[in-house]
Chains A and B, each alone.
Chain A
Amino acid sequence: MKVSLTVNGRAEEVDVPTNTLLVDILRTNLGLTGTHVGCDTSQCGACTVHVNGGAVKSCTILAPQAEGLEVTTIEGIGTMDQLHPMQEAFRECHALQCGFCTPGMIMQAIDLVENHKDLDNCGIREGLEGNICRCTGYHNIVRAIQSVVDQG
Chain B
Amino acid sequence: MSETDQTTQAQGIGAPVRRREDLRFITGQGQYTDDMNRADQLYAVFCRSPYARAEILSIDTAEAMAVEGAVGVFTGQQMVDDGVGDLPCGWLVKGKDGSDMKSSPHPPMAARYVNYVGEPYAVVVGTSLAAAKRAAESVVADFKELNAVVDVATAAHSEQIYDGIENNLAYEWALGDEDATRMAFAKAAHVTTIELVNNRLIPNAMEPRACLGCFDAASGEYTLYTTSQNPHLERLVLSAFVQIAPEHKLRVVAPDVGGGFGSKIFVYAEETAVIWAAGKLAQPIKWVAERGESFLADAHGRDHVTRAELAVDDTGRFTGLKVVTTANLGAYLSTFGSAVPTYLYGTLLAGQYKTPNIYVEVQGVYTNTCPVDAYRGAGRPEATYVLERIIEQAARELGKDPADLRRMNMIQPEDFPYATPVALTYDVGNYEASLDKALELIDYNSFESRQAAAAENNKRRGIGFACYIEACGLAPSKLATELGAGVGLYESGEIRINPTGSVSVFTGSHSHGQGHETTFAQVVASQLGIPYEDIEVIHGDTGRMDFGLGTYGSRSLAVGGSALVAAGNKIISKGKKIAAHMMQADEAQIDFKDGNFILQDSNQSVSIQEVAFAAYVPADYPEELEPGLSEKAFYDPKNFTFPAGTHIAEVEVDIDTGVTTLVKFVAVDDFGHIINPLVVDGQVHGGVAQGAGQAMMEHGIYDEYGQLQTGSLMDYCMPRADDLPDFDVDTTVTPCTHNPLGVKGCGEAGAIGSPAAIMNAVTHALGNKDISMPATPEKVWRAIRGE
Contacts and interface: CB of A to CB of B under 8 A. Distances in A.
B28 interface: yes
A83 B27 contact: yes
A128 B727 CA distance: 17
Interface string B199-238: 0000011111000000000000000000000000000000
A97 B291 CA distance: 20
A114 B604 CA distance: 59
Interface string A68-101: 0000011100111001000100111010111111
Contact of A90 (B26, B207, B687, B688): B26
Of B292, B682, B718, B750, chain A has the most CB atoms within 10 Å of the CB of B682
Given A80-B29, A136-B686, A137-B689, A46 B206 contact: yes
A58 interface: no
Contacts of B208: 37-38
Contacts of A91: 18-19, 22-23, 26
A102 B26 contact: yes
Q: Chain A interface residue count: which class?
A: 35 or more
Contacts of B720: 128-129, 131-132, 138
Interface string B317-335: 0000000000000000000
A106 interface: yes
Nearest to A139: B685
Given A87-B27, A129-B721, A92 B18 contact: yes
B515 A97 contact: yes
A134 B690 contact: yes
A39 B291 contact: yes
Interface stretch (B65-73, B111-119, B256-264, B276-284): B256-264
B718 A97 contact: no
B27 A75 contact: yes
Contacts of A39: 291, 712-713
Nearest to A39: B291
A100 B714 CA distance: 20
Interface string A122-152: 1011111101111111111110000000000
B721 A141 contact: yes
A98 B19 contact: no
B681 interface: yes
A113 to B, nearest CB: 14
Interface in B469-526: 512-515
Q: Chain B interface residue count: which class?
A: 35 or more
Of A97, A126, A128, chain B has the most CB atoms within 10 Å of the CB of A97
Contact of B206 (A33, A44, A126, A139): A44
A150 to B, nearest CB: 15
A40 interface: yes
A40 B290 contact: yes
A34 interface: yes
B679 A138 contact: no
A46 B682 CA distance: 20
B724 interface: yes
Contacts of A102: 25-26
Contact of A96 (B26, B204, B257, B261): B26
Contact of A140 (B31, B685, B690, B724): B685
A32 interface: yes
Interface string A26-57: 01000011111111110110100000000000
Nearest to A33: B35
Interface string A97-122: 11111110010000000000000011
Contact of A137 (B28, B30, B204, B688): B688
A100 B204 CA distance: 12
24 contacts: A36-B206, A37-B208, A38-B206, A74-B26, A75-B29, A87-B27, A91-B18, A91-B23, A91-B26, A92-B18, A94-B19, A94-B681, A100-B207, A101-B258, A125-B721, A128-B720, A131-B721, A132-B718, A133-B206, A137-B685, A137-B692, A138-B689, A138-B721, A139-B689
Interface of B: 18-19, 21-32, 34-35, 130, 204-208, 256-259, 261, 288, 290-292, 512-515, 678-679, 681-683, 685-690, 692, 712-714, 718-722, 724, 726-727, 750
Ordered nearest first, which 9 A-B pairs have the shortest CB separation?
Answer: A34-B28, A99-B25, A100-B258, A137-B689, A98-B513, A97-B513, A74-B28, A137-B685, A43-B713
